[in-house]
Chain A
Amino acid sequence: MHYQTESWNSYMSQKINITNDPLQHIERLASENAVVIFSISSCCMCHAVKRLLCGMGVNPTVYELDQDPMRGKEMEMALMMLLGNSCTPSVVPVVFIGGKLVGGMDRVMTSHINGSLVPLLKQAGALWL
């Protein structure tokens, strides 16, 4: 019984995917795909980062926070905490590659220019060239 309950609980939590912690939720979403972008549909910088990654041949998974009525806001807050003190008015876009946090547009661009982005993508399996 004890054993069954435990497995049942873990099974249930897995299946239902209920977590109260948005951060955990974010992390889980990020780990599900090679490249994950948290964005807002009206944000133009998000559009830019999507263009950048798509232009490189990557197929990113995009989560539009404004289209998630239940958890969008809290996820945004969580992302803000995750990124630390940034001077941009909006936290998005936030890019995860291979489950690991890369950062906002500036981080993505910096890593792309210094040549570290492509190896990272390849490592995560987002690029095969």
Chain B
Amino acid sequence: MQGFKAAQSPTFDLTTSDMFCQSPFYLRNDEGNLHVTRYEDLGELEQAAAGELHQEGSIYSSTMMKPNIDPFLTNDLPFGVLRTSLGSGEMGSSATCVVDVGCEEQFLNQPGPAKVTGRFSTMVDAGQFMLNNCSISSRMVDVGNVGALGNGNFENWGDSCLADHSHSQQTDTSTDVDTDDKFQFFEERHEPLIVAESREEGKGKYGDQKALRRLAQNREAARKSRLRKKAYVQQLETSRIKLAQLEQELKRVRQQGSLVGHGLSRNQSQNANGNGALAFDMEYARWLEEHQRLINELRTAVNSHLCDNELRVHIDAVMGHYDEIFRLKLIGTKSDVFHMLSGMWKTPAERCFMWLGGFRSSDLLKILGNHVEPLTEPQLIGICSLQQSSQEAEDALTQGLEALQQSLSETLSSNCLGPTGSGNVADYMGQMATAMGQLAMLEIFVHQGDLLRQQTLHQLRRILTIRQAARALLAMSDYMSRLRALSSLWSARPKN
């Protein structure tokens, strides 16, 4: 690096465009004469620089010596290379820009192929770095003051290099480059670009055509990637805001739910339907977890062949826990009967078998199957009569429910509008009042359904022995778990 510094003796007028343009820029073919001139100068310069470069590393020298007609190679040229290219004395001005800032060290000695475009990009990069980190704008103005040798070509090239730049990982720079006004006057001033290394004009012309095309492509790609990035950032922002909102709502609902859960048992006031449904869902989830825990304890107790008294403790715990859910369901029914009826708090497969807001008590005994065998004669009779009575009760409630539906639809369909179309408001209100009363009966029906389920469970417990009851409870719980697992599988299945 010291070598470079030594080489930076400004032997040329710093404000001439020639100097600035010579090192990293392409000269367009219409500036042929200048081109030649530049090359002459440049040749000397390059020789000088090359010598310097060789000290630093062959990679740099190769860049200097080789004519590089492809201007749009990847943009991974390190700053260091730029500096080395600027290291020669006559480019001291621009180099000075960079060096004076003292930022070069960060970029120096970065490995990478030295490519021509890379130089400009890194120049831009360097410039951006300078602009970002130090106030070097005056320097850039100097650079920009260099006279115009070319025309729109510079603009294109600069643009493409900006585009090129955007392809680098330094995406922030790309957007910065977009919005950075400082670089505007590169384009405005139409700085000429000189191929530093190219010695043949012919090759340069051919290269230019390809260059133009690639320039355009790069521009497009850069623009697209910028747009994509903007869109992505936008999405992230909105998602973040949404996430924050959801978290807040969740927190609020949780608080309300816990309040509701504790408060409802004390006061009789009706909560809003939404709160009631949510509160029940949360309580149910909690209940389910606890239920699983109790069942697992029962299972270990059964598997470890504990004595009856110890089993009884576990069984009573499970039964007591079942009573808990019926109590919760009563509260839930009072606050939102339609939520209970809908079964949305159950998994889809469970919902399939739902009756009046819960499982069918008559199905309960069918689920048990062989798990409770062997049964004594009285037990068998007991089980059979239980099956029959639960079935009868179910049928009775079902018929009652049908009657309710019938009367409700009769109420709502009764014609309260006169033939002239003028409705009797009093009749309408009366109709609605009746319908409301009928809907209120739904709560009672659901409650009766739960009561039936609860009674069936308790009666089963009474009929069976301890061990049979343990097996029965495990079998029931497994059945429900399988239904829930089935629901998960179903919802996760690949949809065609």
Contacts and interface: CB of A to CB of B under 8 A. Distances in A.
Contacts, number: 79
A43 B400 CA distance: 9
Contact of A45 (B386, B393, B400): B400
A28 interface: no
B386 A115 contact: yes
Interface string A66-79: 00000000000000
A47 B385 contact: no
A42 interface: yes
Interface stretch (B52-60, B420-428, B443-451): B443-451
Nearest to B390: A113
A45 B393 CA distance: 12
A48 B392 CA distance: 10
A67 to B, nearest CB: 16
Contacts of A113: 386, 389-390, 393, 452, 455-456, 459
Contacts of B396: 48-49, 51-52, 55
A109 B452 CA distance: 7
Size range of the interface on A? 20 to 34
Contact of A109 (B401, B448, B462): B448
A105 B396 CA distance: 10
| SS of B interface (majority) | helix
Contact of A105 (B385, B438, B448): B448
B382 interface: yes
| SS of A interface (majority) | helix
B382 A115 contact: yes
Contacts of B445: 44-45, 48
A100 interface: no
Q: Which of A43, A44, A52, A56 is the most central at the interface, judged by chain B CB atoms within 10 Å of its CB? A: A44
B400 A44 contact: yes
Contacts of A112: 389, 392-393
A89 interface: yes
Contacts of A105: 444, 448
A46 to B, nearest CB: 8
A5 interface: no
B403 interface: yes
B395 A55 contact: yes
A110 interface: yes
A32 interface: no
Interface in A87-109: 88-89, 105-106, 109
Contact of B455 (A42, A44, A109): A109
A20 interface: no
Interface in B440-482: 440-441, 444-445, 447-448, 451-452, 455-456, 458-459, 462
Given A49-B396, A109-B455, A110-B455, A44 B407 contact: yes
Interface in B374-413: 382, 385-386, 389-390, 392-393, 395-397, 399-401, 403-404, 407
B389 A47 contact: no
Interface in B192-216: none
Contacts of A117: 389
A118 B389 CA distance: 10
A109 B451 contact: yes
A89 B443 CA distance: 10
A4 interface: no
Contacts of A19: none
A48 B389 contact: no
Contacts of B404: 44
Nearest to A53: B396
A85 interface: no
A17 interface: no
Contacts of A42: 407
B456 A45 contact: no
B451 A106 contact: yes
Q: Which of A43, A48, A88 is the most central at the interface, judged by chain B CB atoms within 10 Å of its CB? A: A48
B392 A89 contact: no
A44 B385 CA distance: 26
Contacts of B392: 52, 55-56, 112
A59 to B, nearest CB: 16
Nearest to A42: B407
Given A55-B392, A115-B389, A106 B399 contact: no
Nearest to B361: A113
B374 to A, nearest CB: 21
A114 interface: yes
Nearest to B392: A55
Nearest to A43: B441
A35 B382 CA distance: 25
Contacts of B395: 51-52, 55
Nearest to A110: B455
Contact of B401 (A44, A49, A106): A44
Contact of B393 (A47, A52, A88, A89): A52
19 contacts: A44-B400, A44-B401, A44-B404, A44-B441, A45-B400, A45-B444, A48-B397, A48-B401, A48-B445, A48-B448, A56-B392, A88-B444, A89-B440, A89-B444, A106-B448, A112-B389, A112-B392, A113-B386, A114-B462
Interface of B: 382, 385-386, 389-390, 392-393, 395-397, 399-401, 403-404, 407, 437-438, 440-441, 444-445, 447-448, 451-452, 455-456, 458-459, 462
Which 8 residue pairs spanning A and B have beta carbons closest together?
Answer: A48-B400, A52-B396, A44-B404, A113-B455, A47-B403, A44-B403, A51-B399, A51-B396
Given A52-B392, A115-B389, 15 more contacts: A44-B401, A44-B445, A45-B445, A47-B399, A47-B400, A48-B399, A48-B400, A51-B395, A51-B396, A89-B444, A106-B451, A109-B451, A113-B389, A113-B452, A114-B462
